[in-house]
Amino acid sequence: MSHLNLDLIRAEFPALNNDCIYLDNAGGSQVLKRVANRIHDYLLTTSVQLGASYAQSQAASEKVLSARRSIAELINAYHDEEVVMGGSTTGLMFLLTQAILPSIHEGDEIIVTDSDHEANIGGWMRLKNAGAVIKIWPVNHDSLALELADLDRLLSSRTRWVAMTHASNVLGTVNPVADVATRAHAIGARLCVDAVAYAPHRLVDVQASGADIYVFSFYKVFGPHYAVLWGKRELLLALPSLNHHFIGPEVLPYKLQPGNVNFELSYGCVGIAKYLIDVGSELGAAGNNRQRMQTAFYHFAQHEDKLAEKLLNYLHSKKQVRIIGHDHVSNNNRMPTVSFVVAGKSSETIVQHMDKFNIGIRFGDFYARRLIKTLALQSYGGVVRISIAHYNTVAEIDRLIQHLDDALN
């Protein structure tokens, strides 16, 4: 079987040429040169308004439309009209919940978790003003998982929405979103999935997820600071327009993109899928583009799991360290995002020690503040988080562990 050619992989990311070890990838990945090149090309050759009859406007329109089609293929959307783009996952979620607001009636129930990034909690919480009842699906303190049995006790005939993360940006845990979708749909409810911590590590398949809404940010997936929200076409059509009064509810996705998309960032995102297709081809994949992308992600996961397991084994050997999440990689149960706390030490102190060696990691709650509070980790200043990407190397993890050893002892 072919293996990742890390020299070729790393050559795609110009920032990796400096001496920083980037292990804060869950906060934001490095950006592909081919993404930046497309942004550069758009701004310097077709920075005009769309929809006019002259040649440059027609070329610009085609570039922006090609981006929507590329993203639809990347996520396995049936219709590119289902691809709604915007500045961030948080921003898109506030737009979504604003569009859902008129359909909420007194006593309607919405289930959110206490382990999500606030992006998939805050907007839903505001629906309380319309009479919605917000129920919390708590993480199990022993398993640190969202247990389906706990969800079953919360679901009722009044449930309208369940909101959850595909993978925790602190725990790294992969959640059973397809099983949740089955349960939600059985009672007439819908599922909204935040995939920000999942999409950099596995090929997104919105159909297989079972979700009704699926959202993530491209700046975590080797692209620009931009985001995408996918929704089932019939659901999006039923939502009111958030755009100008003359943009009707049938105009997808424009009605949910007030002010339109960012043209150059949208076009830059084409580079993400192109990269994945090329990596899959380099690894010997045949078939269609998604099959090639799947091959790329399969090898990304194999490599990332090896690095994560090396780090987890080291942390597991330290009695003073408490790993927050699964302490080993098995059966696709976690992402390579590793969080921990150290007895008698603040998380900030550990991160500041690593700063001296130009190793980029972070501490805090990572906007999963409810989870940090639930697990009583505030006294540490939150967790230390080390988040690995496919372009990281064994040598980088070895250097990380070497300097961590000094910080922990």
Instruction: Tell me what the mean pLDDT of segment 6-24 comes to.
Output: 97
For 21-42, b where at least 16 C-beta lie within 10 A, e where not — what string?
bbbbbbbebbbbebbeebbeeb
Q: Is the pLDDT of residue 1 over 80?
A: no
pLDDT digits (tens, 9 = 90+) for 59-90: 999 999 999 999 999 999 999 999 999 999 99
pLDDT digits (tens, 9 = 90+) for 376-389: 999 999 999 999 99
Instruction: Tell me what the mean pLDDT of segment 135-148 comes to.
Output: 96
* Distance in Å from the first CA to the final CA of the chain: 41
Q: What is the mean pLDDT of the chain?
A: 97
Burial classification of residue 342, based on how many CB atoms lie within 10 Å of its CB (0-12 exposed, 13-18 middle, 19 or more buried): buried
Instruction: Tell me what the mean pLDDT of segment 317-330 comes to.
Output: 96
Query: Per-residue confidence at 12, pLDDT binned at 50, 70, 90?
Result: very high
pLDDT digits (tens, 9 = 90+) for 281-291: 999 999 999 99
> What domains sit in the chain, N to C, each tagged with a CATH number?
6-30+289-408 (3.90.1150.10), 36-272 (3.40.640.10)
pLDDT digits (tens, 9 = 90+) for 145-198: 999 999 999 999 999 999 999 999 999 999 999 999 999 999 999 999 999 999
Tell me what pLDDT residue 2 has. 63
CA distances from 242 to 72, 73, 124, 127, 253 (A): 22, 26, 17, 17, 11
pLDDT digits (tens, 9 = 90+) for 223-267: 999 999 999 999 999 999 999 999 999 999 999 999 999 999 999
Instruction: Tell me what the mean pLDDT of segment 323-341 comes to.
Output: 95
Spatial distance between the Cα atoms of 269 and 276, rounded to a whole number of angstroms: 12
Cβ contact 38:267 at 8 Å: yes
- The radius of gyration of the chain from alpha carbons, rounded to an integer in Å, stands at 21
Tell me what pLDDT residue 3 has. 87
Tell me what pLDDT residue 409 has. 83
Tell me what pLDDT residue 44 has. 97
